[in-house]
Amino acid sequence: MGYSHYWKIEHDINLQAFKELQTVAAKVAEASDAPVGLSINTHPLYPSITVEGMASDAHETFYLTPKAVKFEFCKTARKPYDEVVVGILDYAHRRGLLEFTSDGNADDLRAGKRLSAHALSIPDPRWVTKQC
């Protein structure tokens, strides 16, 4: 399939939790240096998060809704917006909202997971100074 990220949503995500995820998606996109187009639809019947790369840095559009889905994916081709997609999916996975897997290895996912950890306010252990 090419370099892709996959997710499954077992049960519909409640609207309040999805609104929180939308807020986090905006924080993740803002914290990234990648040129991205972020669209957040807050309509109660059609909530969604859309992320797109810009110009030559675009590939497939990432589209996430709170609806249960057995299998969904997005090919980012390791383009710069990949870190934003990974950050959003990783955050949602850590919150138990969805299951997230990827073709990427730890190095591929590192930048996105940093953005997710930033949104969760989890310090990266490599950057924490030990107190004596």
pLDDT tens for 47-91 read: 999 999 999 999 999 999 999 999 999 999 999 999 999 999 999
pLDDT > 70? residue 122: no
Using N-to-C axis directions, what is the helix angle for 106-120 and 82-94, rounded to 10°? 60
- Report pLDDT for 69: 97
Q: How far is CA 84 from the centre of its chain?
A: 5
- Greater confidence (52 vs 123) lies with 52
Question: Which pLDDT band holds residue 120 (cuts at 50, 70, 90)?
Answer: confident
Per-residue model confidence (pLDDT) at position 2? 75
Helix, strand, coil tally for the chain in percent (to 5)? 40, 25, 35
Instruction: Answer for the pair 82, 105: CB distance below 8 angstroms, yes or no.
Output: no
> Can you give the pLDDT at residue 119?
80
Alpha carbon distance 126, 105 (integer Å): 19
Instruction: Read off the pLDDT of each residue in 106-132 and give the average, rounded to a whole number.
Output: 72
What DSSP assignment string belongs to 48-70?
EEEEEE-GGG--SPEEE-SS-EE
- As a whole number, mean pLDDT of residues 12-40 equals 96
E strands present in the chain: 4-9, 36-41, 48-53, 62-64, 69-75, 99-102
The pTM score is 0.89
Q: pLDDT tier at 127 (50, 70, 90 boundaries)?
A: very low
What contacts 40, CB < 8 A, 6 or more positions away? 22, 25, 26, 48, 49, 50
